[in-house]
A and B are shown apart, each in its own frame.
Chain A
């Protein structure tokens, strides 16, 4: 009986992963996992290292090692000659404005759908959730025609507005989760203290929604920082280009100077990586939530 129990305990231990014997299988598993980790990370490692090398090293002397001389001048070149600093500012501006618009629109709509009482609010929510499945392809041509008619092509607004609209559904989805968790007693208490719906929205709900700001902000940032199709079609003049379009242009122009190009690619990637390092769990969660609902 005791042996049986011990056996059982051992099995439970093994299954919950407290202590595992080292077997051939587990070693092979580990090698496999490490191999894929290497495959995932290698192109990024290669990019970061060749962004600091000169052509001689990149072209053969030292292809995959760490740079021998750390050429930060590549970054300077990319910034100055390649105009990357301009594109960086544009991308930041576009992402920032988009985040603000999405937050305002999503907060207000979610408030109407979770705290206000009316028929059809569930339907309205479902309607907004349709946006998670609509591909941007559906609207490139019509939006282009509309923007051309309004003479709005080649402005920041030409991409900020579409970006906001396409991030809105996800924003509402995330806000819904957070706002439903705020106790309804607070609304009532505030109402008894003389607040109207707008007062409750601004003074009670919005301050409590700060965690949602971060999640919506990150998700929206990732969407517009990397977007190519809209930015490519709606923006022509170099002064308004965002990073993806700017990098496309830069790489087409300078094909032999790999160092500065690597620097430009790194400049576009480092902000995302930084955000990811600090908020990886939250980013992953938001992607899971979006997929499960969509």
Chain B
């Protein structure tokens, strides 16, 4: 018992050190890549206003980059994302609200630019779908449980079966005695 615990712990250590090595390699590669970007790319001007920067950071995470669709506007280095960020900053500096900025972008690029699609006719199934599926699953579960319960209760023995059962029990009892 004790030995197995010790060997488990040992393999745990081995695993984590290997994982650490891999993490190191991946991190190194990341640094390499970003380091090169840092040299090649041009930094975006930071606006002195930290409030606008905070709003930018929050809002641009909610927007999809259309040319690199897995990424947000905040996370993408594409020209498209840079243009959108520049436009957003300009609008915010001019005192436009977040809602106005979003509306501006949706007018041009459609709802697709939003990571969270708005609730409306075309997206109703998208929003309600999971709940509908859940309701169906619960209904199926309830019905099948009930059916099973009824089947279990419905098992009644005929007098013949009862007699046989009794005789079997008796037989067993006899054998024990002997």
A binds B: no
